Structures are given as structure tokens and as C-alpha cells.
Amino acid sequence: MDTHRINLHLVSDATGETLNAIARATTVQFEQADIVYHRWSLIRTRFQLHRVMEGIEAEPGPVLSTLIDRALRAELDTTCQRLNVKVVNVLDPVIEVLQEAIGQTAEARPGRQYVLNADYFSRIDAMHYVLAHDDGQAQPGLAEADVVLVGVSRSSKTPTCFYLANRGIKAANVPLVPALPAPPGLEEVKCPVIGLTLAPEALIDIRRHRLRLIGGGAHTGPMRQDNSEYVDEDAVKAELLWARRFCNSRGWPTIDVTRRSIEETAATVLQLMESWHNRKKAAESLPAT
């Protein structure tokens, strides 16, 4: 099948993260398409919009917009109509549903999701927490965690914790090492503990890539293994089996991250956290015996 090349313009009055996420979720469905992205962020004045419209005219293609200002939207719509270019205001369907449900008209104020409110500072606080509690650091602080992720070396604990921190969740991660005892305090935490695991072949590939990046030599992380053991198939299988049994014996759920993106792993963590809290509430509501 021939590759079809198109220009895709993403026009936002804020950072453009919403549009980038929508574009990724939709364009991935078209593997044969060669899509050239044109990102236009923080578009809040007519002068800035005119620069966008010049870019669209120079390289025509569909336009996805999250502009809130009505005057700017109208001008963009008019220009796209003149250029015979389709424009989609992606927030409109959601806003219309909410307006009807709430019985209020939406305020046309761009970038409101980025104001310095309590949620913003909660995310900053969570990010500091993750930095301080990465890879088993500052173990006394585990009592403050919203969730603790455990797993063998290179099981995507750290990136998942950082993704969760962006949601305001204090996520600590603790490496599981067969030769070492469980960190003190891990089994006494008052929050969900979730294990991350993956297929041996995938883990070996990740570890080999890591060793290439650091130039070989002995592994310097908590594993403290030599290279042969760190990527040996039998050793890795035994390590993963031990870690899974370690979690199972403590009633900790595990997530197989082999074919999951960080976003998908984090979403599953959030689901397991919700289930844990629901069970906790149900247990607390039972009458005392």
C-alpha cells in the first residue's frame, strides 16, 4: 500500500498537550500514513493566529483546534473554509454535553487547567516525593506513600512512578532482590503495594540495552550482579519467579508490563488502587464483632 502524506495542524491556546494526546490516539490507527505535525501552541492573539493561518495556507492539511476564544475560533474557521481545509474543534462535543448536564454556559477562558491551584501543587509535591523515594531510597518515608511499586531491576517502576506523580500521586518504588531481605517497613505500609513483572525475554532485552548505555561492566544498581547473571536467561527466569512468589505470598497484585505502555501500566495501577481503597472502606464499614 502506498504511503499517504498529509499535514496535520494542531492549534491550541495552551500547551497543546490535549491535542497531542488526541493526535497520538487517532493517527496511530493509520500505519500507512506519513503525517507531518505542525504544532501551534499558546495562540491567544490575532497576531499569533495570523501566523498560524499563514502556515496552514503554505502547507494545507486538516486542522485540530482547542481554541476557546470565540473571535479567534471564528477567524480560524473562516480561513479554513476559504482554503477548503477541514477544521475540528475537538472540545466542542464534550463542552456541549457538560453545558446541557450542568445547565450552565462554559466560560471561554483558555488554559484554565494550568492555573496554580491545589492540584498543581499536589503534583509538584508528588514529583518531589518520587525523586526522594526512587529505587528504594528514603525507606522511612514509605509511610507517606499513596502506592508502592515493587519489582526486579528494569521492570519500569521508575517511569511509572513519575507518570503517577504527574497525577498528584506519591508513588515510591522498591527493588526486589533475591539475595537481599525485604526493605524494613515495606510490609507495614498502609497503602497498596503492587508488583510489576514482565516476560524474561523482554527483561533481558531491556537490561542488555541498559548495559550498552552504561558501557558494560558490573551492574551498579541494587542488584549488584555481574553482567552474565544480570542477563542470563535461567537466572532472569528464576529471579522473576522468585519476585512473583514474593508478591503472591503477601497478597500483593502484580501487573505484567510486557506489552503495556507506561500510560497503560499507570492506568492499571490506578484501578488496583481504587479496588484496594474500596475493599478497605467495605471492611471498615462492617460492624465490630
**Is residue 155 annotated as involved in ligand binding?**
yes
Check the annotation: does 78 bind a ligand: no
Place of cell 501552541: 41
For the stretch 213-264, pLDDT in tens is 887 554 444 444 556 789 999 999 999 999 999 999 999 999 999 999 999 9
Instruction: Report whether 193 belongs to an annotated binding site.
Output: no
Nearest to 160 by CA among 191, 197, 121: 197
Q: Which of 79, 34, 26 has the alpha carbon at shortest distance from 56?
A: 79
pLDDT tens string 122-159: 889 999 999 999 887 867 789 899 999 999 999 999 99
Residue 280, annotated as binding a ligand: no
Task: Please check if 41 is assigned to a binding site.
Answer: no
Host H or E run for residue 31: none
Q: What is the pLDDT of residue 61?
A: 97
Interval 28-83: pLDDT, tens? 999 889 999 999 999 999 999 999 999 999 999 999 999 999 999 999 999 999 99
Is 45 known to sit in a ligand binding site?
Answer: no
* pLDDT value at residue 223: 44
H/E element, 30: none
Residue-range domains of the chain with CATH: 4-112 (3.40.50.2300), 118-285 (3.40.50)
Q: Any known ligand binding at 249? A: no
What is the pLDDT at residue 224?
A: 46
pLDDT digits (tens, 9 = 90+) for 156-212: 999 999 999 999 999 999 999 998 888 878 988 999 999 999 999 999 999 999 898
Is pLDDT above 90 for 4? Answer: no
Tens digit of each residue's pLDDT (9 = 90 or more) over 206-223: 999 989 888 755 444 444
Residue 285 annotated as lining a ligand binding site: no
